[in-house]
Structure 1
């Protein structure tokens, strides 16, 4: 019997310090959901990877790189007590309408969400002053409803010089609980992964590619978030920002458009999944579901950050591997002199147990101070499907 395949995508990530006034704690998030069989029927499992100002996020007051992979139960409570605000890390709600209702209803689900919360630290940048955590919660499916809009919102974004101070955040996901005729079960949302911060050059057409997959094999299409799905930011888009259907974001950062050295803004996109055959409703495609992805961008005259070099695979590279075998890949990174490569990180969108081993200095023609790291992962039968891995490197400057 043939072995099953798992598909991996790699998106190269770099980090670097930002220096700015801090008036908020939120630095973006990406959301997704999976429909699972719970004790009392179907449940929605919500996965949120969120970024926060270091020391103001769930990782806690004393968060550091040593906190990576740690549970946040105690540290989250510590921050909440210090802030004196039980909803400092946001509010959860669901909007729905059943056949017996004349209009939709919005329901506060904070108690259910926070009572079932599992959360861990996935990355920390001490110099750039941010942390990233992974939150997993469950909520029971609401019967007899054609949709569930699950919202996550709060106050406030870290200082957005291009959009304002004390800006509220809002993300939401649209889930459709009905069974699909093609797969015989409810739809699962697409998945995406992004960095909490991208540093971009001024006076250049900057491009950011967001890696996406769909566990059901659906067509994935990206768009700029609009209207209620993004809250305040719907009327405060970055000048001339655009996104292609295959999730390439373009930001022309001309000074004439208001961009300047050190300016910071928030980007919000929506990732939707559609029938692969392109079935339309009227004149437009109708998505099965939609999720939100948001992050910060900073614009600078000059950027000096480490970068991956050959023979590292290019960003968004795809690998085919077999369950039960070990996938192994070497990545090579070079700093901008006189910095030195500090450490490598790897984030998997489905809690993949990727190990980083054999980190060492290595000789590469025409390159100095190069370090190499080996990544390994052994997927099993339960991992069959598509996966996203995000590889990062940080130098001694941050």
Structure 2
């Protein structure tokens, strides 16, 4: 019995070794809630490819795609490391999604959720032994993936590993240098690297190092290979993500395995070209959950196109190939995808390639279809309705995510007239296209629109992108009713007035004249005055303009516009007013505050200047008064000294009387007979004495003076006096000296 079981097992193994139907695949996973610490739910996803003609269970067609049939071997994906307390054993069959008639393969994708209560590190593996005949190696395969469920130190979330996609068979030309890019993406935006699978880590079965001479650029995930032998080569690569570019420790590791078919073909390649609006390579496209996504793949080929080979997410439907717009050189398929499975929320990879009847192929393009991602959704196009012939700018807002300019050329903003003729276009990378406030896409067109004509605006895909790790390109705007505007027949002149302001000006005036400007929105009255010379100008010019919102005056130069057009015009203007009022009022408030500060500063400066002028004037007056002060009149006498002086002022003594006959004293005399003004300061009375009766040096006292009018009156007897005139310190000095005397009279 034991020998019988051994023979049965050996027969199964040998039978499996002769089954050459496995064409490779990949396995990845993601945490359902990256913020959880324990009891983490993980979604494990896998994609496998098989030889279509091997059996009905491995064959895929359009009917099976629509029905969602399962295809593939009855194998299992098993847990091998960290499998306690929860382990898994997953059926490896996939939901049919793609096939290639030219390369004879069928494939699909599938996923399942598993909960891990207290596990932090897990390894899973898919093993088998049904590779087709290979140039090097062959037989068994082993795809190993690693899961790390510990929250990262940098993001405080569970890591999400990268995903990758490569078509199962890539044709390379023997003796030529061939290049293959392995398409990868990482939802966390981590650094992704590719490396050869390692047999010591049980990652590749019997196909480790099965591509001799091939070079792998680990940073760019680009494989270069120049095969010398025709046939099939199996490639096994591990795709890993790292927190930083310099990091050596991988956060996770996922496998990808595929075939290279070497053929003797010319190294000169005539490649088919994709046409817009086909997806750009390595782009991110937004897909709405619980919605239906539509797109097109368009190919330029002068020969009949036989196939557009795709690697699709589950449920994506591709139409039959047909000519595009009845052009015999353009071929296309429609893509339709209705997403209702929550497991497909996130990044879904999609690749495609075109092949014509002469086996000429295009380059493979791959994109990320992000379900329920935050791609730009445009709304609020401006302007719409009636517009002026010259539109200064156009704008449209992203309602859901910040946006950036597209970095991909060949995406255009297109303007059409009412006859559906394109009259202008603007490339999205142009300097006339800008993103403002991170949400608004604005652009300018140097184009004079025709009065009375209607226009609509359409966008190509990827005119803008979301500002995130996987920049989602904007979807095309293809609705002709989304952005429509009509150019006015009439001319509109707009003026704006803000807030309430009263300005007062003073000027010389007579006969005020009143001017009145009247519009629909405001009446302004200005009193103007003419100027004449008057001694006391005091007339006031006052201008008062009061408004709390934007006021627009319209002067119609033509009368062809109808009542309905006037209503639409008024609606458009009111809408514009509402948008501009807040910013203009804020400007006026700032202006008023600054003007008030400036006015107060001016008043303060004026007060300071007046104070300085007053102080200066007082100082000058004191100096002038000091200079004009008259010196005291002293007798030209040797006895004019000592302490026997007595001073009299107008306030405390009567003016002494001088006896001209009895006194030889100097007197205070005003040449202009203004005696009071000269002598009102002080009168000095000196000792009167008689030379003949001198009794001694100290034997004398004060005596009363009497004016001798006969002797001292120089007006009546000018011949008795010597008169000298001179200027001192800016004023005139007159000296009157009696002849043959020692007395001097000064003025």
Once the two structures are TM-superposed, the CA of residue 207 in structure 1 deviates from its matched residue by 0.5
The CA RMSD over aligned residues, in Å, is 3.9
- C-alpha distance in structure 1 between counterparts of 2:353 and 2:32, whole Å: 31
| SS across alignment from 2:150 | coil
1:268 is matched with which residue? 236
Name the SS of the counterpart of 2:207 in structure 1: helix
The Cα offsets for residues 325-360 of structure 1, whole Å up to 9 and x where unpaired, read as: 96745421427x5xx3234354345x4x65546953
- How many Å separate the matches in 2 of 1:142 and 1:67? 37
Determine which of 51, 62, 86 is the counterpart of 1:53: 51
Output one character per residue of 1:192-246: Cα deviation in whole Å (capped at 9) or x when no partner. 1110100100111110011111122211111121222112222534333423312
- Contact 2:103 2:169 (C-alpha < 8 Å) held by counterparts: no
Aligned partner of 1:373 in structure 2 is: 333
Q: Deviations over 1:149-185 (max 9, x none)?
A: 1111111112213324xx1011111110112244443
More strand by share: 1
Of the two, which has the highest radius of gyration? Answer: 2
Moved over 4 A (4+): 303-307, 312-315, 319-330, 353-359, 362-365, 374-380, 382-387, 394-398
How many angstroms does 1:296 deviate by?
0.6
| Mapping of residues 121-140 of structure 1, within 5 Å | 121-140=96-115
**Is residue 393 of structure 1 aligned with residue 357 of structure 2?**
no
Aligned to 2:308: 344
Match of 1:194 in 2: 166
For structure 1, the 5+ residue unaligned runs are: 1-21, 77-87, 99-104
Three-state SS of the structure 1 residue aligned to 2:256 is: strand
- Between the two structures, name the one with larger relative contact order (CA 8 Å, sep ≥ 6): 1
Alignment of 1:85-234 (within 5 A): 88-97=73-82, 109-110=88-89, 113-114=90-91, 119-141=94-116, 143-145=118-120, 147-164=121-138, 167-227=139-199, 228-234=202-208
8 Å Cα contact 1:213/1:387 also seen in 2: no
Question: Post-superposition shift, 1:321?
Answer: 5.1
CA separation in 1, counterparts of 2:142 and 2:174? Answer: 28
Distance 2:323 2:31 in 1: 44
TM-score (norm 2): 0.39
Secondary structure of the equivalent of 1:287? coil
Q: How does 1:242-281 map to 2 (within 5 A)?
A: 242-253=216-227, 255=228, 259-260=229-230, 263-275=231-243, 277-278=244-245, 280=247
The superposition leaves residues 97-145 of structure 1 with CA deviations (integer Å, 9 ceiling, x where unpaired) of 59xxxxxx9x9843xx13xx78310112234321112121333326244
Where does 1:303-318 land on structure 2 (aligned, <5 Å)?
307-311=271-275, 316-318=281-283
Once the 2 structures are TM-superposed, how far is the Cα of residue 378 of structure 1 from its aligned partner? 8.6
Contact between 2:210 and 2:233, CA under 8 Å: does it hold in 1? no
Question: CA separation of 1:187/1:69 partners in 2, compared to 1, >3 Å: closer, same or farther?
Answer: farther
Change (3 A) 1:121 1:396: farther
Gaps of 5+ in 2: 1-17, 360-747
> Per the alignment, do residues 355 and 52 of structure 1 end up closer, same or farther by CA in structure 2, a change over 3 Å counting?
closer
Residues 275-306 of structure 1: CA deviation (Å, up to 9, x unaligned): 0x3463xxxx1111010111111111127999
Quick one: distance in 1 between partners of 2:143 and 2:292? 38
Using the alignment, how far apart are the partners of 1:186 and 1:397 within structure 2?
49
Once the two structures are superposed, what CA deviation does each residue of 1:251-292 show, in whole Å capped at 9, x if it has no partner?
122x2xxx23xx1111111111110x3463xxxx11110101
